């Protein structure tokens, strides 16, 4: 089953920060060089600065976490200089694919679920700008189809995708300013890919019992984050279960 996380499209750029930064209909020229794309993104810096100023977090921050919720079609940015992370803003995801549940093999169209980092920053993407999620991680390699796990899972522009998170071009320009600023400081950008904002509720609904054990494991990490507002330290058991500290 293919599903599309479609949000209301709005023209132009909001003059002030809003609770959810929905996808827009702005489309960058795909013939532009990588440097020109980065220059376009730099024009979003005042908007990004305003988002950080509104929360009192210095830009660029020392710690950065992206939290994607598949059911809601939203991506949150959390950041801090020191101490607890704060939510900077929420971006609407324009398109994704697959069903609830983790990615376990190449070609399944699934958006991964789990705990990752960003590992590639691509300024010359077919989707304008893109950043790669570190799927497959050690858990995915232990639990997925050996030798056929797939990869190249990106957060990118445009509004079409299979297995990735498409944010539209204006929104990826904003996100690019945030994630690359932290990356340029030599810091890791962490990414939590979750089935829903309310994982406990998704389990209790009982619609996907095949994912109950896995989602319960994700819930452990999610609960620790919500309690301490820091990025959990993640390790892996021999069976691929996430361990948190």
Residue 174 lies in a domain: yes
Per-residue pLDDT, 184: 97
**What confidence tens digit (pLDDT) does each residue in 135-174 have?**
999 999 999 988 899 999 999 999 999 999 999 999 999 9
| Total number of domains constituting the chain | 1
Q: Which domain holds residue 88?
A: 20-244
Eight-state DSSP code of residue 95: B
Mean pLDDT, the chain, whole residue set: 93
Residue 14 lies in a domain: no
What CA–CA distance (Å, rounded) separates 41 from 36? 9
Residue 186 lies in a domain: yes
pLDDT category of residue 7 using cuts at 50, 70 and 90: very low
Cβ contacts of 64 within 8 Å, gap of 6 or more: 77, 78, 79, 178, 179, 182, 187, 189, 190
List the CATH number of the domain containing 159: 2.40.440.10
Residue 7 lies in a domain: no
Residue 72 lies in a domain: yes
Tell me: pLDDT of 41 over 70: yes
Residue 6 lies in a domain: no
């Amino acid at each position: 089953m293919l599903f599309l996380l479609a949000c209301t499209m709005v023209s132009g750029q909001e003059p002030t920060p809003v609770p959810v930064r929905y996808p827009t209909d702005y489309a960058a020229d795909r013939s532009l060089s990588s440097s020109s794309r980065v220059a376009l993104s730099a024009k979003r810096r005042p908007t990004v600065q305003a988002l950080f100023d509104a929360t009192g977090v210095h830009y660029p921050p020392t710690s950065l976490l992206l939290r994607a919720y598949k059911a809601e079609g939203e991506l949150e940015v959390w950041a801090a200089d020191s101490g607890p992370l704060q939510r900077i803003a929420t971006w609407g995801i324009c398109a994704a694919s697959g069903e609830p549940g983790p990615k376990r093999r190449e070609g399944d169209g699934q958006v991964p679920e789990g705990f990752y980092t960003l590992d590639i920053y691509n300024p010359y993407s077919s989707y304008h700008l893109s950043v790669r999620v570190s799927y497959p991680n050690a858990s995915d390699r232990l639990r997925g189809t050996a030798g056929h796990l797939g990869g190249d899972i990106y957060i990118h522009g445009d509004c079409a995708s299979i297995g990735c998170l498409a944010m539209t071009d204006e929104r990826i320009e904003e996100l690019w300013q945030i994630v690359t600023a932290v990356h340029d400081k030599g810091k890791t950008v962490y990414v939590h890919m979750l089935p829903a904002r309310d994982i406990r509720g998704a389990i209790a609904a009982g619609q996907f019992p095949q994912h109950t054990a896995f989602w319960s494991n994700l819930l452990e990490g999610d609960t620790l984050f919500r309690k301490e507002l820091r990025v959990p330290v993640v390790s892996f058991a021999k069976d691929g279960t996430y361990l948190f500290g």
